[in-house]
Amino acid sequence: MAEQLVVSDTLHAYLREVSLREDEVLSELREFTAQLPAGAAMQVSAEEGQLLALLVRLTGAVNVLEIGTFTGYSTLCMARALPPEGRLTTCDITDRWPDIAARYWRKAAVDDRIELRIGDARETLDALRLERGAGHFDLVFIDADKSGYLGYYEKSLDLLRPGGLVVVDNTLFFGRVVDPGAQDADTVAIREFNTFLHGDERVDVSMLSMADGITLARKRTA
């Protein structure tokens, strides 16, 4: 049996047909975002959004942290998966795109579960540490500027409870991680992050070849 299946367009269409459960609100947001400059590339895929929702439910998450909001597709997927008392804190460097997101959060009636923070994510994470203490969050999703990944990860791990889950997007970075000629700052940062995470004994780790590469890191309890 093959170790890794090559997913053709036909097979991908089949996968969506038998697995994807994207409703009208999510579909509308995804289609709107795809029309924005670089929107399709920056937005998580529908399949990844559905996976994030599943991970929220599997971990029993009540408090979720998201680093990188954009137009809020992933935010919406995770917020919907939270219990009624659940809260999702999402942060972005600008309110330009989250202003779009807020319309869809209200339409889906989950805006009361979402707290948006605007500013440098490192400062936001430091503020959350002071306000809520270590181990407050059950799940963290990182999907922001690639050069900041390692710093975001370290601060997130402190904010994460033992047994909690960090989900990191774009860890294959359009396949550029294996291209020796790709020496731009973002690609180099992702390579360095992947190498660091592989050796980090504080977590159990698995990189998935789904979408643009998704890495799961569970904070060990001992």
**Domain boundaries defined on the chain:** 9-219
Residues 6+ apart with CB under 8 A from 50: 19, 20, 21, 22, 77
pTM confidence score: 0.96
**pLDDT surpasses 80 at 222:** no
Query: Rounded CA gap, 178 and 166, in Å?
Result: 23
CATH assignment of 9-219?
3.40.50.150
**What are the tens digits of pLDDT across the range 107-153?**
999 999 999 999 999 999 999 999 999 999 999 999 999 999 999 99
**pLDDT surpasses 70 at 105:** yes
Beta strands in 123-174 (DSSP E): 137-142, 160-169
